[in-house]
Structure 1
């Protein structure tokens, strides 16, 4: 399938629908104005001419038509917004295939220079793996996706769930469209829910006795109005009844509702979208165990979310003082609102955290499925989760960021062996190391990898490729390198087995000291449950070759121009390019 054509055709089709809905919206606005003017005209005519009831019927029909058209216009506006949001999804995906990921959150808040591998492998930040993958609509989904990319925990069922979602392209697009207007702040929602759980509500709110009393009082109020209407009692009776009921209800409920209202003030808009997200999930049928279980769990949450939205709507309507007077005076509105909240608090508040986590899980999974769908060139990884040995076998491996221009390489890593990779500047060493690491991250998350064939076991990963100084804390570049190697050693002692990926050990010191230090470090770490890939410019390090230390290189050819093959081969690099390129600069070429 041509994905660019797919996204482009859907965006163009939606553009036509959007244009049609806008024209319909303009027509409906004109119709509303016309019916309203007609209603006013009938009323005016009724006051100046003696045509009687036909004018009243005409005004009523005009008002009814106005209300009907206004309702149709509201639905049309909602549909227009949904189509516009969906079009944005396709346009963003189309741009991403051209290398423009600016529409997506880059996850720079997750950047951690001390993490075992995410900083070195460009997992977070601008143009990162996270930004290329992230389509989450909730902050909880974003956090979940970041956590999964940062923690290598393979789950075969997770891989099956991602594969199932990947083929549901239309359903995924509609899900992502729900987050185009606003990102749902899961942490804020959970903070508010926690406060709602702790809000003290008077016990009478849940009392069945008080509820029966309320119903009897409402019936009594209606009877008082009936008696006054038929002349059986003075109108003072229903009027004072309403005033008394309002006073009692307001006195006993306003304090509690004010506390609840102050807590949930910013929750209403988010909860409406959350309900749409949950309904979109539960309305879809799934076959895999994880997706089915999550959908089943959220089906139980629908009532909770819907009731909470109704409670929030009721709290919003309390701002109308006149309406509140009649609602409380006639039907005990505030009491029943407080009762609904108390029952929701009792039945659902403790479950909200688990339901929100389920939404976040599905949200992150949809992002990974979309990434999988957008890369048909990737292949499923074969993960061996029943062996303690480190296995890494790749055919046609390449870096996911390079696209069609990537050069593919075959590479196998044997448990407890070390691979010293030499080569000139820009020959492809660092990119290859990152390809090894980033594809392993994908494999552990059940996402297809960028290779023709890929077979790995489950192991730990630690890299040291992009050490930075910290002058604010008095840490020099060399000192930062030592601290990173110290962290690596402690990690390797605690986590078994581990693959380490190193790019230029001790590059912050002189050549001889660097060589001796590198040898000492590799000899020491070779006694641990560790396997390693080490890129270096220091050809002397290649003399460590033995049964467990192997030499590989990225060779270049020097002629009129430098030729880069970007192919890894066995052996030690013969050609270097620094002097060659500097000479050409000095000669003005």
Structure 2
């Protein structure tokens, strides 16, 4: 059971997290000890006359150890954050398996009421398809996943490639968990890499070889004067003068330095995370074509991993320029700001044209990891099969809605031929609308290369358009009936401009009287039957079922039957024929007898 698997992973992760925490406890003490030792030795050399060579050498050694401890401390802090994020990954999946999707973004900002099918089929929003699948952290990855769920591929080869890619990732459990854990560290408010592209400016003086030689010569002269002053060959005033010159030279570039720091310096943390993701990807071997191509895109031409590590280091240094004491020492001795700006300009020249491609490729993998993790959690779902039979649209058995837990779900079998219209009748709450969404939702999963909630699901590629949730709009003066007509106009235009389309309709023309509704529905369906269209129409209007009598090849009747006794019973099973039992009057009479 997957829940037990994740609980075991949490236990294993807790052991590793405990080891890291125990090591972190000693670092603050050791860092303080060696820093104070260096300070003490310098003071001892000047105040108490201790041997200066010994004191300075020992102080330098203490500072080196302090620097190493600082780096180790940073490393273990990152490891602690990683293991804590990994715990969150496992806990979130347990939450998913328990039926709660609250840890994940529901994609409500992607809701579009005019979209051909996403609004009606609950693709976005609370407890939606997106909500169930989505584990993305970055906005770009979330948008990629949303785009996939909102579109139908142009050909079957795309679906096959997606199936191979996701199936491979399902088996790479540790890779997926590591990838998701690292992604947890992203700060989405500081993730706009286009700012680097928008940052204009360069300096030929800094990036040229002559400029580099002059910088090195200046540093050598300054450090040489300090050594000669310490040996008593030159007065200290010479060194101090050169030190001050080197301190003020970088100030001529302050405008560019401050702009880089203010505009993009904050990106260093996210850049480091992207570099860590590239490190994980670089170590993984892929066989599926889509995954191989993505890795080739990242590492084929340039070493994106090292490039982003370098950028992260540069941006971190820009972000830390506010430390005045460190800035004075590093500029006075080593012209650090000039090196920093020079490295940044050279990085831009080498990699600027590639960074957005790298970020997009990583976002694509983040979306795939979300999809494959969802598939991993539901092993009872099956991989759909693309049919070669041009006359069939869908052949499914044991088809259920992916939202509904297995123990509560009622599965159905259905066979749909092209240019066939299924008229589905049934009482209220009998399962008609749920069945429509079941078919639509599973098809969207199928075209995205994902497993579906069925025992068998075979299909040919088709487009999709639905009309199930029309609403009025008082602010724009649009009545319910007008909104319904506009949706039907959109449907007709869509079907005329796309290849074969499945239309899913729930109760045609609800906004008019019974006679007009029947006549209009018959007219509409007969006209649609002339196009390259297949339809599934749920209705309470039993008269609409008579279409099968006139055109049995084009129209077929199905129904969801109920049993009315002291307590109504719903089978939620689809069957051939026309519904015999309706329940509106029965239920209303029951309420009246109870309340009046």
* Preserved contact between residue 383 and residue 443 of structure 1 (Cα < 8 Å): no
CA distance in structure 2 between the aligned counterparts of 1:421 and 1:100, rounded to whole angstroms: 32
- Asked whether 1:501 is paired with 2:504, we answer yes
Secondary structure in 2 aligned to 1:461? strand
Q: d(CA) in 1 for partners of 2:554 and 2:521?
A: 16
SS at match of 2:453: coil
The within-5 A match list for 1:443-462 is 443-462=446-465
Give the CA deviation at 1:185. 5.7
Counterparts of 1:157 and 1:307 in 2: how far apart (Å)? 34
**How far apart are residue 331 of structure 1 and its match?**
2.2
Distance 1:494 1:51, change over 3 A: closer
Pair 1:514 & 2:513 matched: no
- The 8 Å contact of residues 138 and 185 in structure 1, kept in 2 or not, is answered as no
Alpha-carbon distance in structure 1 between the residues aligned to 2:37 and 2:370? 52
Tell me by how many angstroms 1:584 deviates: 1.4
Shift of 1:489: 0.6
Q: Aligned partners of 1:560 and 1:24: how far apart in 2? A: 69
The 5 A counterparts of 1:223-262 are: 223-251=224-252, 253-262=253-262
- Please name the residue that 1:574 is paired with: 580
* Residues 470, 375 of structure 1: alpha-carbon distance in 2 compared, 3 angstrom cutoff: same
2:174 aligns with 170
Instruction: State how far apart, in whole Å, the 2-side matches of 1:111 and 1:356 are.
Output: 25
Q: Secondary structure of 1:392's partner?
A: strand
Residue pair 2:265, 2:316 contacting (<8 A) in 1 also: no
Report the 3-state secondary structure (helix = DSSP H, G, I; strand = E; otherwise coil) of the residue aligned with 2:510.
coil
Paired residue for 2:417? 414
C-alpha separation between the residues in 1 aligned to 2:498 and 2:396? 24
Residue aligning to 1:119: 119
SS of alignment partner, residue 176 of structure 1: helix
How far off its partner does 1:49 sit? 12
Give the equivalent residue in structure 2 for 1:97. Answer: 97
> Counterpart of 2:464 in 1: which secondary structure?
strand
Q: Is the 8 A contact 1:139 1:185 kept in 2?
A: no
| Paired residue secondary structure (1:420) | strand
- Give the C-alpha shift of residue 193 in structure 1: 2.4
* Unpaired segments ≥5 residues, structure 1: none
Question: Is the 1:133–1:371 contact (alpha carbons within 8 Å) kept by the matching residues of 2?
Answer: yes
Contact 1:390/1:415 (<8 A) preserved? yes
Distance 1:234 1:316, change over 3 A: same
Residues 305 and 35 of structure 1: CA distance in aligned 2, closer, same or farther (over 3 Å): closer
CA deviation string 1:476-506 (max 9, x = no partner): 1111111111110110011111000000011
How many Å separate the matches in 2 of 1:169 and 1:511? 56
Determine helix, strand or coil for the equivalent of 1:178.
Answer: helix
| 1:207-229 Cα distance to aligned partner (Å, 9 max, x none) | 11111222222222233333333
1:86-120 alpha-carbon deviations (Å, 9 max, x no partner): 11111111111111100000000000000000000
- In structure 2, relative to structure 1, the CA distance for the partners of 1:389 and 1:261 (3 Å cut) is farther
1:321 Cα deviation (Å)? 2.8
Decide whether the 8 Å contact of 2:396 with 2:457 is kept in 1.
yes
Secondary structure of the 2:8 match is helix
- 1:161 corresponds in structure 2 to 165
Q: Which residue of 2 aligns with 1:152?
A: 152
Pair 1:139–1:334, CA change in 2 (3 A): same
Cα offsets for 1:175-206 (capped at 9, x unmatched): 111233445468x423312223xx12122222
Structure 1 position 250, deviation (Å): 2.2
Q: Find 2:544's aligned residue among 541, 558, 567.
A: 541
Partner of 1:341, secondary structure, is: helix
Question: Could you tell me how far 1:36 is from its partner in structure 2?
Answer: 8.4
Q: Does the 8 Å CA contact 1:515/1:541 hold for their aligned counterparts?
A: yes
Distance 2:356 2:46 in 1: 61
Which sits farther off after the overlay, 163-172 or 199-208? 199-208
Contact 1:162/1:446 (8 A) holds in 2: yes
1:20-79 C-alpha deviation (Å, 9 max, x unpaired): 5545544666777788899999999999999999x9899999988877766655544433
SS at match of 1:266: helix
* Counterpart in the other structure of 1:143: 143
Cα pair 1:101 1:131 within 8 Å, conserved: yes
Q: Is the 8 A contact 2:112 2:118 kept in 1?
A: yes
Instruction: State whether structure 2 residue 268 is matched by structure 1 residue 268.
Output: yes
Rounded to whole Å, the distance in 1 between the matches of 2:476 and 2:45 is: 84
Match of 1:10 in 2: 9
Q: For residues 523-538 of structure 1, what are the structure 2 equivalents within 5 Å?
A: 523-538=526-541
Distance 1:44 1:308, change over 3 A: closer
Q: Measure the CA separation in 2 of the matches of 1:276 and 1:37.
A: 34
Contact 1:433 1:501 (C-alpha < 8 Å) held by counterparts: yes
Does the 8 Å contact 1:393/1:456 carry over to 2?
Answer: yes
Show the 5 A alignment for 1:215-230: 215-230=216-231
Q: Which moved more, 1:220-229 or 1:560-569?
A: 220-229
Q: Which moved more, 1:429-438 or 1:277-286?
A: 277-286
Residue 214 in structure 1 maps to residue 215 in structure 2: yes
> How far apart are the structure 2 equivalents of 1:75 and 1:351?
28
Cα separation, 2, equivalents of 1:292 and 1:4? 31
- Aligned equivalents of 1:79 and 1:89: distance in 2? 15
* Structure-2 change in CA distance of 1:332 and 1:75 (3 Å): closer
- Residue range with higher mean Cα deviation, 269-278 or 227-236: 227-236
Output the CA distance in 2 between the equivalents of 1:5 and 1:42.
57
Q: Distance in 1 between matches of 2:594 and 2:203?
A: 85
Is the partner of 1:554 in helix, strand or coil?
A: strand
Q: CA RMSD in A?
A: 3.0
Partner of 1:479: 482
> Does the residue aligned with 1:171 lie in a helix, a strand or coil?
helix
User: Over residues 355-412 of structure 1, what are the superposed CA-to-partner deviations in whole Å (9 max), with x where a residue is unaligned?
Assistant: 111011111111110111111111111124x776662111111110112121111111
2:566 matched to 1:560?
Answer: yes
- Measured at CA, do residues 33 and 183 of structure 1 come closer, stay the same or move farther in structure 2, by a change above 3 Å? closer
Q: Would the aligned equivalents of 2:266 and 2:316 in 1 still touch at CA under 8 Å? A: no
Distance 2:67 2:495 in 1: 71
The corresponding residue for 1:201 is 202
Question: 1:103 is paired with a residue of what secondary structure?
Answer: coil
Structure 1 length normalisation: TM-score? 0.91
Distance in 1 separating the partners of 2:86 and 2:116: 38
Q: Which of 468, 471, 477 lines up with 2:471 in the alignment?
A: 468
